[in-house]
Amino acid sequence: MHRFASQLAMSAVAFVLGLLVVAQLRSQQTVPALTGVSSQDLTILVANLNTRNDQLRTEIATLDRELSELRGNRSRGETSLDQLRDDLADVRAFAGQEAVAGPGVSVTVAGPISASAVGELINELRNAGAEAVAVEDVRIVAGSVVAGPPGGLSLENTVLGDPFEIRAIGSREALTGSLTRIGGIVAQLAATEERATLTVTPVERTVVPASERNLLPRYGDPRL
């Protein structure tokens, strides 16, 4: 039994020694090629690697800055474009090319009334700060004219019935106050248009449609 244990121990030692020999041989076979390079060449090689690393770091920093600038320009560009779109939408809306909704007043006109009186009423609304005005479903824009005799008015080939409604968007308080103030347009028309009745009603929300007219100029061009 003792002899068997000794043989086993010797076998284990031999196995370990064999592993060490194999590891040593492999390490000798994988000695890098740089072992034959002189110290001066190694110094130059290391210096070149350091220089290249510095160049790569510089390029990375430059690319990072360019990427940040591109992202910033894109963000600013999108913001500017969105702002331009919003501004264009506002211009189109309040020039009459788009419908507009908001608070304002409703003026109901019942009974015969002259075309000039309706024109004065519309002008008063504009002077009071109305941002958009419509008579029935006709948007008031540049060149809109109410015509015809009392009881037979029309606006842009649309006959105005009895009663008809004028809608204006703006400050309810300002518009109502301007129309109904003492000596204001409603009081004046009550004296001159005795057969007509005007009822002013503030509203929280009303809709003024877009104009059906072609509002593009025929002769003028924008001057930028």
Interaxial angle between packed helices 115-127 and 185-192, expressed in degrees from 0 to 180 and rounded to the nearest 10 = 170
Question: CA–CA separation, 114 vs 137, rounded Å?
Answer: 19
Q: Determine the pLDDT at residue 115.
A: 93
Residue 72, domain extent = 37-95
Pull the structure tokens for residue 214: 């072609």
83 and 107 belong to one structural domain:
no
Q: Determine the pLDDT at residue 58.
A: 81
List of the chain residues with pLDDT < 50: 2-10, 13, 16-17, 20-21, 24-25, 27-31
In angstroms, the Cα distances linking 124 to 10, 15, 69 are 119, 112, 52
Helices and strands (H and E) in the chain: how many: 5, 8
In angstroms, the Cα distances linking 25 to 13, 36, 123 are 18, 19, 106
Is 148 within a domain? yes
Other Cβ atoms less than 10 A from the Cβ of 105: the count is: 27
Is 213 within a domain? no
Pull the structure tokens for residue 221: 């061009």
pLDDT tens sequence across 33-73: 555 656 776 677 677 777 777 777 787 777 778 777 777 76
Is 20 within a domain? no
Q: Determine the pLDDT at residue 219.
A: 75
Is 51 within a domain? yes
133 and 185 belong to one structural domain:
yes
Q: Determine the pLDDT at residue 80.
A: 65
Q: Determine the pLDDT at residue 180.
A: 93
Pull the structure tokens for residue 139: 């948007």
Specify whether the CB–CB gap between 168 and 108 falls below 8 A. Answer: no
104 and 43 belong to one structural domain:
no
CA atoms within 13 A on the CB side of 216: 3
136 and 199 belong to one structural domain:
yes
Tally of domains in the chain: 2
Q: Looking at 50, 65, 95, which one is the last position of a domain?
A: 95
Is 145 within a domain? yes
Q: Which of 198, 178, 184, 206 is nearest to 104 (CA)?
A: 206
Q: Determine the pLDDT at residue 3.
A: 47
